[in-house]
Amino acid sequence: METNTEIKRKRIFSGVQPSGVLTIGNYLGAIKNWVTLQDDYECIYCVVDMHAITVRQTPADLRRRTLEGLALYIACGIDPQKSTMFVQSHVPAHAELSWVLSCNTMFGELSRMTQFKDKSQKHADNINAGLFTYPVLMAADILLYQTDVVPVGIDQKQHIEIARDIAERFNGVYGDTFVIPEPYISKTGMKITSLTDPTKKMSKSDPNPNSYIQIIETRDETIKKVKRAVTDSGSEVKFEEGKDGICNLMNIYSAFTGKSYDDIEKEFEGKGYGDFKLAVGETCADKLQPVRDEFARLSADKAYLEGIMKEGADRAAYLARKTLSKVYRKVGFYAKPQ
């Protein structure tokens, strides 16, 4: 008799929108964890282009950034041999499940989502229905793959909670269908703030390019942006309330070097903000250099990237179809005669 000694690994799903070039916020808050997790989990990483169009995008830019997003995942260390990577719009089951889930999601609970409130304020001229139902599509992304764990930055916690609520409600009405997903939020890097307004999240779609550090930009740009980062009028490098700008830079430095806040305070004792900012800028640029080099190499090989994209979509579509068929059966859709 054959014995199966392999323990089934838990599944991970996560994604980033190709709504801009990825920033160190995306890297430290999400992708760096994705890389670590791929040895212990079965990982599926998605470029969520359907989410990106909840905000107006220039079509040519969206197309280019989608391929760039995939290249960046690989350049950051996601290994196509270990993890599945694909583009959301290549797997129609996401939109299909999203519809069924939207019929099991309450208007009231969507109205409470803080991201919807923020984005409606930012894009007051385009408060579209997709922006409102964004969390339903995200729940579909997660639930389609029977995901156990979702690694994200802290800003996405509320979205994971609603995905759990939707899954529990559906399971309650129709019987066990979905695995209930858990968020995975790492302590350092969970919220990197804007360099120009350290009370706000760093965001790749911020109109001011000085507010973010892109994973791929030049060393000089990175150093210059950190030098110009908004800090308070003090001079001591200390992690304390009221020093949002310095705390953010300490957080970034800590995430890249693994040093504790205490270590950092000691390292810069008696030195000013200038020395500290230079160290943060240089460290960011140095740590990201291998990613930048790998990205440049990969970008020259579109055929390779498209191969990964296609293989990923085929595998994702296979897994997604299984869940979707189950859902269709449970809700009472008549099976298409073969």
For ligand ATP, the closer CB: 47 or 100: 47
Sheet arrangement for strand 42-47: 84-87, 42-47, 11-16, 149-151, 182-184
204 given a catalytic annotation: yes
- How would you classify the pairing of strands 42-47 and 11-16? parallel
Tokens of 113: 């989502």
Query: Do the beta carbons of residue 140 and residue 89 sit within 8 Å?
Result: no
Least separation, in Å, of the C-beta of 1 and ligand LTN? 40
Residue 12 sits in the site that holds ligand LTN (CB under 6 A) = no
The span from the CA of 309 to the CA of 304, in Å, is 9
- In the three-class reduction of DSSP (H, G, I as helix; E, B as strand; rest coil), residue 184 is classed as strand
Sign for the CA dihedral angle at 12, 17, 22, 28 comes to negative
* From ligand ATP, ligand LTN, none, interface partner of 138 (C-beta below 5 to 8 A by class): ligand LTN
Q: If you count them, how many residues does the chain have?
A: 338
Catalytic residue, from 10, 32, 82, 119: name it: 119
Least separation, in Å, of the C-beta of 141 and ligand LTN? 4
Query: What is the residue type of 214?
Result: Q
Least separation, in Å, of the C-beta of 253 and ligand ATP? 15
For ligand ATP, the closer CB: 10 or 191: 191
The span from the CA of 73 to the CA of 262, in Å, is 32
32 given a catalytic annotation: no
Summarize as ranges the residues that interact with ligand ATP (CB under 6 A). Answer: 16-17, 19-20, 23, 25-26, 29-30, 152-153, 155-156, 189-192, 201-205
Look-up: residue for tokens 């430095």?
253
Among 152-160, 220-228, 276-284, 315-323, the segment contacting ligand LTN (CB under 6 A): 152-160
Residue 94 sits in the site that holds ligand LTN (CB under 6 A) = no
For ligand LTN, the closer CB: 15 or 198: 15
201 given a catalytic annotation: yes
Least separation, in Å, of the C-beta of 2 and ligand ATP? 40
How many helical (H) and strand (E) elements, i.e. helices and strands, does the chain have?
14, 5
Instruction: Output Rg (C-alpha) for the chain, integer angstroms.
Output: 21
For ligand ATP, the closer CB: 91 or 138: 138
- Give the one residue of 11, 12, 14, 54 binding ligand LTN; rule: CB under 6 A: 14
The span from the CA of 78 to the CA of 35, in Å, is 5
For ligand ATP, the closer CB: 179 or 255: 255
Residues lying near ligand LTN in the complex (CB under 6 A) are found at 13-15, 17, 48, 51, 138, 141-142, 150, 152, 156, 159
Q: What amino acid positions are annotated as catalytic residues?
A: 119, 201, 204
